[in-house]
Amino acid sequence: MTTKKSVLAVLGLLVAALALVAAGCGGGDGGAEVVALPSSSCTGLEYEGDGSPDYIIASDLPLQGSSRTQTEQMTAAIRHELGIRGWKAGDYNIAYQSCDDATAQAAKWDSAKCSQNANAYAANDAVIAVIGTFNSGCAAIIIPVLNEAPDGGIAMMSPANTYPCLTVNLPGGCEATEPAKYYPAGTRNYARVAPADDYQGAFVAEFAQEQGTKKVYILNDKEAYGLGVATTFRKAAESVGIEVAGFEAWDPKASSYEALFKKIEGTGADAVFLGGLIDENGAQVIKDKVAVLGPNDGAVKLYAPDGFTAQATIDETGPASAGMYMSVAGVPIDAFTGAAKEYIDSLLAGPLAGKAIDPYAIYGGQAAATLMDAIAASDGTRADVITKLFASDVQDGLLGTFTFSSDGDPVASAGATVAITVYKATDKLETVTTIAPKQTTVDAALGK
């Protein structure tokens, strides 16, 4: 009898120990137990610091589909930043979980998955901040849930969202309820380090004008980001004297777009702009554009924003992408200097050895660094992390020196500019030029 009780006691202790490990270890300094986010969406709890974690930072990115190469580099950069800091933000030990908002079926972000993830973050007391999202449509789902999370909301920092209406209302470009509907608690909890599409739309319009474009047909993929960047480009293009021959959406589920491009051919447009994502059947759109209107460096040029600016676009379209122009916020990787250059070198010597660094890896690292600084300066509550995030004053960071507006958008320091780079597709992305759009064109893109 005694032996049986002893065995049961040992088994009980073993089960308890396993449960603790599965939960992600206990909280540091005797605090509440840190419970990991669900394995259905997230990696296991990652922590390599001393003691036990006090809080979790989660990243919410699409880790399946055409964006995977970019987002995997972003998660590598986030882990790298945590490692540099010894997994500590001030007095707090910070664990990390990488969460996927994509599904295999969709091969991109999925609205149900975004909602599921958002609710998991809000319900987990240990989640102190979220880095994400990559896609603005997913952000529109997650932001309001985190805004009303217990204890004052959860800070959310995006390395990649560029849809302007997440933070401001553009006349004629946003719904009347945007951005207010994303902040039901009445205060802001979301900020981003990526410039919004007013800059990108202005830049592409100026660049298209320099290339001799006179008449452009604008397409979008009907998603928040795609429609948003198409709209800012339209306004900017008109402001620099480019005629808009048409503005409509492509159906991401269509098997062919040849009829669409034959219609575009009839307008006499000498360029096409694709506002959207490569994930939204973008490869087929590009192939059919070339099949009907000819090569991209021929009579009808092809322009696309950062939703297409990835090696995946070239890989998925093959020769059809040759000659198309693609833009992205920031300077080329080989033009980074100072802290950013040192950071890139450390990535190349570590987690991204042997790989071509994607620009969004730097944005991921900057998002992590900014959040860690805000947590370090806070009193450890969710509400105060948000307060400290909006009070950030980044000096010589990976993306330069900047603060945040009350809306959550990055504000470059006096004298600094928001640079946009354009690439041309060959067998890889080749840098063409980097410029800062004129403020008058940016204002036009904003509808001012």
CA 419 from chain centre, in angstroms, equals 17
Class of domain 197-329+417-445: alpha beta
CA 91 from chain centre, in angstroms, equals 29
pLDDT score of 338: 84
Q: Measured between alpha carbons, how far is 143 from 412 in angstroms, rounded to an integer?
A: 24
> How high is the mean pLDDT of the chain?
90
Within the chain, all domains assigned CATH 3.40.50.2300 are found at 22-195+336-412, 197-329+417-445
Helices in 62-196 by DSSP H: which ranges? 68-84, 111-123, 136-147
pLDDT score of 213: 98
Q: Measured between alpha carbons, how far is 420 from 328 in angstroms, rounded to an integer?
A: 6
Q: Measured between alpha carbons, how far is 310 from 326 in angstroms, rounded to an integer?
A: 9
Pairing between β-strand 301-304 and β-strand 325-329 as defined by DSSP bridges: parallel
Q: Report residues of the chain scoring pLDDT below 50.
A: 1-31
pLDDT tens digits for 77-128?
Answer: 999 999 999 999 999 999 999 999 999 999 999 999 999 999 999 999 999 9
With residue 92 as reference, give the H or E element that holds it.
strand 92-100
With residue 397 as reference, give the H or E element that holds it.
strand 393-397
pLDDT score of 21: 37
Q: What are the C-alpha distances in Å from 132 to residues 31, 59, 136, 246, 390?
A: 27, 6, 9, 33, 16
Q: Which two tokens stand for residue 348?
A: 């190349």
Q: Measured between alpha carbons, how far is 200 from 196 in angstroms, rounded to an integer?
A: 7
Q: How far apart are the first and last CA of the chain?
A: 84
pLDDT score of 330: 79
Q: Provide the CATH topology of domain 22-195+336-412.
A: Rossmann fold (3.40.50)
CA neighbours within 13 Å on the CB side: how many for 185?
A: 17
Q: Measured between alpha carbons, how far is 150 from 237 in angstroms, rounded to an integer?
A: 44
